[in-house]
Amino acid sequence: MNQDFLKPYDHSQEEKIYHRWEGSGFFNPDKFLPRSLQKSKKDYFSIIMPPPNANGSLHVGHAVMIALEDILTRYFRLKGKRTLWLPGADHAGFETQVVFEKKLEKEGTSRFEILNQPQGKERLFQMIWDFTLNNKKHMEDQIRRLGASCDWSREKFTLDPEIVKIVYQTFEKLYKDGLIYKDKRMVNWCIKHQTTLSDLETKYEERKDSLYYIKYGPLTVATVRLETIFGDTALAVHPKDKRYQKFIGQELEVETLIGKRKIKVIADEIVDPHFGTGVVKVTPAHDPDDYEMWKRHKNEIAGPCQVIDQFGRLDLLRHFPGNKKAQKYHGLKISQAREIIANDMQSLGLIEKIDFDYKHNISLCYKCLTPLEPRILDQWFLDLSSPQAKKKLVLPALEAVKKGKIKIIPKFQEKIYFHWMKNIRDWNISRQIVWGIPIPVWYCQENEKNFVISQDQPNHCPFCKKCVMKKEEDVFDTWFSSGQWPFATLMAQKSKNGSDFKDFYPTSVMETGYDILFFWVARMIMLGLYVTGKVPFKVVYLHGLVRDKDKQKMSKSKGNVVDPLGVVEQYGADALRMALVVGNSPGQDVIYDENKIRGYRNFSNKLWNIARFVISSTESLLDQIISQKGNFWKNLSKLEKEDKKLLKEFQGIKKKVALEIEKFRFSQAAEIAYHYVWHRFADEIIEGKKKILSGDNEKERNSSALLLYFILYQSLIMLHPFMPFVTEAIYQRLPKKEKEFLMIEKW
RNA sequence: GGGCGUUUAGCUCAGUUGGUUAGAGCGCAUCGUUCACAUCGAUGAGGUCGCUGGUUCGAAUCCAGCAACGCCCACCA
């Protein structure tokens, strides 16, 4: 027997095994099964790895992703399909910049300090670039340690020039189809991060605030946002509210904090007569509803009057120059202002009453949890609400899932997808940050309404013919580029004469967490169909999130994150993978449990010992019972009757495991294989054969030896997708084997 | 305000079209190291399958209602 078949199993050899795999080139479908040898064009399996954000280390959630995708990849490779698993990394615009800004804060500086220096923007970009590339390298090594059999030669980064080029092409196509527009609209603004955010990047939280009942002449209005009163341009009531009929259309002369003013009363359906007093103040510059209301009453009332600046401070002098009373409030932060205003109004008798325990939802920046400030800004949008947008982007994406061209697992997530898609709104795709793909637009300096779409600076301005065109400062929302990931990564494979897209698109499966169904999956479906006319993937498998023992989401701030590398070092990647796969059903969260990992570490060792025993007790007989040339298992038909039964039983198990994998029931598949190998094969079959193997009935002995060796050999194949390392380690020590690596065996 | 998910042994979870005494892992109890493995083996204790009602010869499984927990979506000041 092999000299290093020591006990117990030592998982520290995992790293070496991975190097051998990677060095062999078999992760690359071109080496594993060149296109010329592929039986039919459809005989492929492809999966694009959701590119992890290159701004930190992987967490156990990523380990779930790697485990599940590697199971699929290794299984279909063993099945002999031309198999591609394409890895990547995401620059993760806003998220990465937030991480980097935190780092700067720790170092006692800030993004704004750097931006204020000469060449600040370029410098900051370069700093984040270096930071990201460093993290990316580290991440790739982590992915390797988890055993991912992905093709590194095809790895893509969202900022690779080939990817950016494709993103630009898509942008231009959308623009030409009238689906991209730039417009002043009310958007979510984070006063800390100084950028807009999409509707998905907001978080709602219930807060207890004071609801102030303030007097506007004869009317009383209930409001939380006292500080916006300076921006009020009207009052509104419900058109059918009997109490206020006589006021509708009237212009009231009222006393305010900063003097007398006139304010008009309008009627609008949106006003709920049962809330507060049934009268609302209309503040078009600082409330989305009010903004919409103003649009409906443009002819009657004044437009947005912005009294809060981009940093969340009162900005009054612009609107009320020379008003000494306004000066007092100018420059105050919102929370401060609210208190002072309340006091002043109370002493002027302008507050009727205050409800101190008013509970309501406010929207927050999902990263820093600062209340978002709605602002009217000129932003780029992807149209998702007009009839033509419905026709070209939304409906095809709905139909694809409805008609089963894309299957979402678990099925209940389809309902959630439909609901979101049906209520989808225009998507703000521009961000005021440096870390991202620049929006490829150049403006005429004479008139900024005129612009051209171009990656490089145009030689001359086609509008005024004389200016040097000015570059758009904003970058794309990260999801605008990752939303194109499946086709972009495959189209960008220029070294392979552009055939990857033909060979591997649509991809077979998209495996990711359910938390990014809207952020990512929905957008990939829309943009994939739009650009290629085909679905980007046939199946969406949504795994659950890993939580800690108290069912808490893992996060750095809670300090409950588990570093997968530490676990891998202690128990081996195989053990971690099994622990994360078993008991993990789609869409359902998994609880991280170290005991479970220990249990599967024990299983690695069990398997190792099974192999030691089977090899040592059959080795001397193998020459007689196994043929190295031609039909490797030719003597299988000569098995004893009893053994044939056991053989059949095993084949049934293996078939079941395959079926479960193909049905994406990984947990069941792993458990069936595990249970068979330990409790049937080891505990019963091997135990039962011990006497025969040491007995003197040669026929029975040969039959038993062949059976045990066969089941061991096949069990390695069966377990390999789940526990690639230990199975390969054993395979390499088999006295007789068919292939160079277990990973390229036949299922 | 809508919608979704979960509720099965002390813990974490399986249980795919309804069918014999409801399963696994961990944990627990007792016993066992010449004989592949103590990261092990053998044996065992432990469940009114959230509650109520219904369909059925038969329900953890289907239907209705309720409850608890969790999550998502939503422009009500």
| pLDDT score recorded for residue A2 | 66
Mean per-residue pLDDT over chain A, rounded: 91
DSSP one-letter string for A594-614: HHHHHHHHHHHHHHHHHHHHH
Q: Which pair of tokens denotes residue A291?
A: 């903004």
- Verify if strand B has an atom below 7 Å from the CB of A39: no
Structure tokens at A11: 């998982």
Classify residue A147 as left (phi > 0), alpha (psi -120 to 50) or beta. left
Chain A 596-625 contacts with nucleic strand B (CB below 7 A): 596, 599, 601-602, 604-606, 609-610, 612-613, 616-617
Any strand B atom closer than 7 Å to A595 CB: yes
* Any strand B atom closer than 7 Å to A289 CB: yes
1.10.730.20, 3.40.50.880, 3.40.640.10, 2.40.30.200: CATH of A590-744: 1.10.730.20
Per the CB < 8 A criterion, the answer to whether A147 and A66 are in contact is: yes
Distance of CA A289 to CAs A205, A233, A465, Å?
19, 13, 42
Residues 6 or more apart whose Cβ sits within 8 Å of residue A437:
A91, A93, A158, A159, A164, A167, A475, A476, A480, A481
Residues 355-384 of A with CB under 7 A from strand B: 360-361
Q: From the C1' of B72, which residue's alpha carbon is nearest?
A: A416
Tokens of A463: 């509008």
Residue type, A666: F
* Closest by Cα among A408, A418, A435 to A121: A435
Q: Which amino acid is at A343?
A: N
Structure tokens at A438: 């620049």
What is the value of ipTM here, to two decimals?
0.92
Q: What is the dihedral sign for C-alpha A376, A378, A383, A388?
A: positive
Q: Closest nt to A616 (CA→C1')?
A: B36
**How many angstroms separate the CA of A583 from the C1' of B10?**
19
CA atoms of A716 and A726, how far apart (whole Å): 9
A93, A476 contact by CB (below 8 A): yes
Report the distance separating Cα A545 and Cα A68, nearest Å. 13
Q: Which nucleotide is nearest to A586 (CA to C1')?
A: B5
Residues A250-284: b if buried by 16+ CB within 10 A, e if exposed: beeebebbbeeeebbbbbbeebebeebbbbbbbbb
Nearest residue to B36 via alpha carbon and C1' = A613
What is the predicted pLDDT for the residue at A589?
Answer: 85
A411/B54 CA-to-C1' distance in Å: 28
The rounded average pLDDT for each run of 10 residues, N- to C-terminus, in chain A (747 residues) is: 76 95 96 91 94 89 93 96 96 94 93 93 96 95 96 96 96 96 93 93 87 92 93 92 91 89 91 89 92 90 91 90 87 91 92 89 89 93 94 94 91 89 93 96 93 93 92 96 96 73 95 92 97 96 85 76 89 92 85 87 93 91 80 87 91 90 90 91 90 87 93 95 95 93 95
Provide the β-strand partners of residue A351.
A214
SS3 (DSSP) at A471:
strand
- Residue A252 near residue A262 (C-beta atoms within 8 A): yes
Is 0.90 topped by the overall pTM? yes
- Write out the H or E segment, with its range, that includes residue A542: strand A537-543
Distance from residue A710 (CA) to nucleotide B23 (C1'), in Å?
Answer: 29
The strand pair at A546-547 and A88-89 is best described as: unpaired
Question: Measuring CA to CA, how many Å separate A718 from each of A76, A421, A602, A655, A677?
Answer: 12, 40, 18, 9, 10
Q: Which nucleotide is nearest to A283 (CA to C1')?
A: B77
Closest C1' nucleotide to A276's CA: B77
Burial (CB count <10 Å: 0-12, 13-18, 19+), residue A497: exposed
A516 contact to strand B (CB, 7 A limit): no
User: Measured CA to C1', what is the nucleotide nearest A281?
Assistant: B77
CA–C1' A674–B51 (A):
37
The whole-angstrom separation of Cα A95 and Cα A732 is 43
Q: What pLDDT, on a 0 to 100 scale, did the predictor assign at position A746?
A: 94
Residue nearest to nucleotide B71 (CA to C1'): A515
Tell me the CATH number for domain A196-373: 3.90.740.10
CA A197-A199-A203 angle, to 5 degrees, is 90
Tell me the nt nearest to A659, Cα to C1'. B16
Query: What is the structure's pLDDT at A583?
Result: 83
State whether the beta carbon of A278 lies below 7 angstroms from any atom of strand B: yes
Q: Which nucleotides of B are covered by protein (CB under 7 A)?
A: 3-6, 12-16, 24-27, 36-37, 39-42, 70, 72-77
Distance of A573 CA from B77 C1′ (whole Å): 54
- Residue A375 in tokens: 């602002």
Going from N- to C-terminal start, the domains of chain A cover 173-195+375-395+418-476, 196-373, 590-744
Separation CA A491–CA A480 (nearest Å): 17
Asked if A272 CB < 7 A from strand B, the reply is yes
Q: Which of residues 673-712 of A touch strand B (CB under 7 A)?
A: 675, 678-679, 682-683, 686-687, 690
Burial class (CB in 10 A: 0-12, 13-18, 19+), A527: buried
User: What residue ranges in A429-486 does DSSP mark as E strands?
Assistant: 430-431, 441-443, 451-453, 470-471, 475-476
